[in-house]
Structure 1
Amino acid sequence: DRLAAPARRRRLAGAAAREAADEARLPPFPTGFGEVFLARFTDRFAGREGVHAVGFAAGRDKPGYRPEHAPLTADLVRRHLAGDTVLGTYLVRRDDTSHLLCFDLDVRRPFVARYAADAEERSRLKRLLMAEGRRLLDQAAAVGLPLLPEFSGFKGLHFWAFADPPVPARHWRVVGNWLLERLGAPPAELAWELFPKQDAVPPDGLGNLVKLPCGVHPQGRRRSAFLAADTFRPAPDQAAAFLAHPVLTPAAFGELLGRLAALGATIDAPPPPAPAGTPGPEFADGGHPVPAGIVPAHPRPDEDPVAVTVRVPLPDRHPPAIERLLAGCPLLWHLADRVAQGGSLSPAELHVLVYALAALDEDGRVFLHQLLNQAPGYDPNAVNRAIHAVPPNPIGCAKIRRTLPELAAQTGCACQFRLPEGCYASPLVHAGVLPASDLALPARGGGHAPCNLSGREEVAGQSGGIDLLMREYRQVAADLGRLARRERLLRVQVNRLFDEAGSDTLVTALGSYARLPAPPPAAADEEEETAPARPAGSAA
């Protein structure tokens, strides 16, 4: 007990020293904030046209924000960076687009008092913030969304993504909500919020705001700063960290939406326009929800501000199961090749293609989006609905021939499979999946169980390739046996001609030939075929 208090003091001193070291890493204004940075920063964070937010004290030193109906300018940004004022941005522009996506990770209100007063507790919660932030960065990187982390200046972290030109706010929200759903619930002490909070904002509204980066937090009294993604330490050159961060082009954003669509995300269609006179929020403090009763409105029905084309590039190579399936089934290859060339499919053809590929779990679903994105009229939501309608048992060859009889005849659809008892013929056999009504196929998105040829358990997945390999090996071995027996017979017959001529060489009009080496002794079961009875009167 006597040692507990000194130990705690040492821990508090260490936490305070680390905080002081972080502060020391921050460049004082105006170092690093040149004119190029100011122009780019102002343009990127301008937000809603003709308005920005200004922070003010709202009692008990709790900050609030009020709208200032004037555009954000470089001079205002310079004052914000100097700590002379605190500014915020309303992310959703008047055409319901936004340059910005922001994930806001904060310490929840019940834990804020201890966070502010206790350096040791603050250190613990910061570790939680960094661990949770790392999870988001990893998830975002996996789908190709570059995020720039920022220490908010008080009790949380912001993670920024940028697009130029701006993209519909509803599409930013598709991306953000999909990532947060994949992330799952944070620790009990933390909470996530996503900005923009609205798909659309009425013409007389503002939407929610977020405090601009790199200023002094009005409550924490500390400068916010962009962080290095690998260490969560303040970037030594704040301007360089911002200027070097990737900005999504329309093509890159379309590919991002395509990747999410292929993984099952719903790319929201525009909602119906809100009734005339729908109220909008005057202002909202960043990090607090819009007041209850506010109904977001969609852009005017006669205009969709920015058309974002969902793009799912078709790669040069595909997962082995996909390539084996298409190489083995000429009918499916024909359908896939037609779509890849920009052609269209009939409903029956699309049905067959989706029902065959959807059985290959995530590889099949992603390939369907990659492929169908090449055809006119691609709708990622419609593709996902079709995938979700596929029953557990893969489509069989017999059903494909009944559904597409002319194409089956045209492409020579007549594969023959040697299958375990209880299985039925399907193109999926080429990919190592042996379907059967009484066999449990893997759950979508899950892994495959080990191969088992008993007919009572699943026969699928990577280990299911043994069926394909063994079938081919046995066929090749049988062919080699037949060829070896034929070669032996031909050698005997050719050498018999040399025996009859009494010479080891023969010359014809087409060339000269030498006697062949004597064949090795034949196996007992080959004697009859390789050494047929000689004609009467021939030499023994």
Structure 2
Amino acid sequence: MGFSGNNNIETLLAQIRLNPLDPALYLSLAQYYYDEGEEEKARSIVIRRREMATTNAMIHRGWGELCEDLGLARQALESYQKALRFNPNDEKTLLRLAELLADVGRYEDSIHYLKKLLKRYPENEPAKNMMAENYRLLGLKGQAEALSSFTSKENENTIVRQFPISISNEDIQNVIRLFDGRERGYGLQKIDARSGELFYQIIDLPLPPEVIRAHLRGEVTLGFFPLREDKTIKVSGISVWIPFRVMAANIKNHGHLMFLMEKGRSYMLRMNSMLKSYGISSYLEDTGSYQLRLWLFFDRFIHFLKVKSLIQDLMKYQPLSIEESLMVEPIMPTVPQGVSWVEQVMMLPLGVHQGTGKRSLFLDKEGAIYPNQVKFLERIREVNISYIQQAVKNLNSKKTYQNPKSKFPSGQGPFQTLWENCLIIRKIGEKSLAGRDLLSEEKVVLFYTIGLLDQGEEWLHYLLEPGPRYHAEKVSRQARRLAPNPISCIKIRDWLPELTSSVACNCSFDLRGGKYPSPLLHVNPHSVPSTTDIDQIEKLPLKEIALRYLRLRNELEELEQIRQRTEDILERHFAKKQINRLKIQEKVLSRREYEGQITWEIGFE
């Protein structure tokens, strides 16, 4: 199988005496001895003559093949590489070198030469089969199947039925809202059937909703361009992945790859926790292809270089140190290429990665998979860039910072005051924080009390997020459209009679100035407006006047009940102290009894 030559030993030796500098003759002599079973003589010639100078690639390949036969793997590699130096695209040399590299465990280099071979000779079946096996060992079954006739039979005979998910127009709008980017253009992830490599087919058209629907169903895999024409982005984050060279080097050490992924997951969860402590919402995704992405969604478009700088600052305070086995970088819309930068297409979450056949999935704060991935998009909350700027500022100044919500319900502020003084608000809030679904009336109570406080929108998100039907965008939209008047205690009792009776809702307020009872009076009397003047009421329609009258009657009845309970309490205290008069500032509260009836009078001293 070596370089062809005259097998007559005498003739061959005579030719060598005439041409002692011809390496082809020594190769033929070594091959002759090997074929005759005299391996020591063949090995001696290889060691002494293999380095003879020549530009003939076939001779170097011949030395490589003979070295392989003699078990000289290192020398064989050197000879094949020399052969490629003079003929870089030689099909046989590329294949033999790739096979030998795989045999000695250098899978990364083997795959490199296989890719080069398949790019030049896409119909080379041994190379395709070998590359397919490498992809299979790496868990890239989609790429393996593209190169071979083998098709995965997973789940083919299962008796458990699977049903396609229903994708609503609102689900599609959530995707468009969160992953908004370039005004025109998107990519479809494909596999090159010749080399098995992934690529994106770029479509220079606006992204149709039906393509997004197909992506969510796993029928196609979409890529999007985050960068708009004005170089701004609305989504970014941090990416951790295993480089292909590390994957290839550990092609038969799958446990090590899983160890690296767990390290990456742990890092991302720590980063997520750090961001949360600064009031920054972030969302972890496993792409299904040895990559994790921690997404940040912004409430407006921001220049991508500004975002990049802020994320790099955050990453400095949560370093990842696993030598070079894992890569961590900001998720950016461009990648370096030569001396410039090129816009890149990114795989849209929740799709099926064509290489691995695995679906991209969002993970919770414990690293577990969320059960309903499409509906999870409703829970994603966009963050204001000022929160990240403040976090970086505190980190740079080494100032210890804790998000006020992390200390909840301790601390001071309007929300804590309301929480401590209104049992109704606390009960509804505790119910939501426990992950239970709220009644629509209970949500309205929170919106028209907490939602009207300073930073009310932030507190609404905090309370409602654990609930099963939390929708971040709807909460923000409703919080920004609230009417200025808070809900009254009368309305709360009317809507939630069982809850109000169970917690003894009997707060007493100063209602001077025409104010009506409301939980917000615990926080600030000025937060509750005065009732409408009678002159303005006269201009209203009859039904509206009647409704307001009924509301006033209800409030009066409620106040009368509170007055009676308060008088009973006063009676007990006056009797205990054996007094009938009590001076309060400039006034005197007097207790009078006539024919068994007790009355209370307020006068001046």
Same fold (TM over 0.5): no
Of structures 1 and 2, the one scoring higher in RCO (CA 8 A, sep 6+) is 1
From the two aligned structures, give the one with the greater helix fraction: 2
Q: TM-score, normalised by structure 2?
A: 0.36
Bigger Rg, structure 1 or 2: 2
Q: TM-score, normalised by structure 1?
A: 0.40
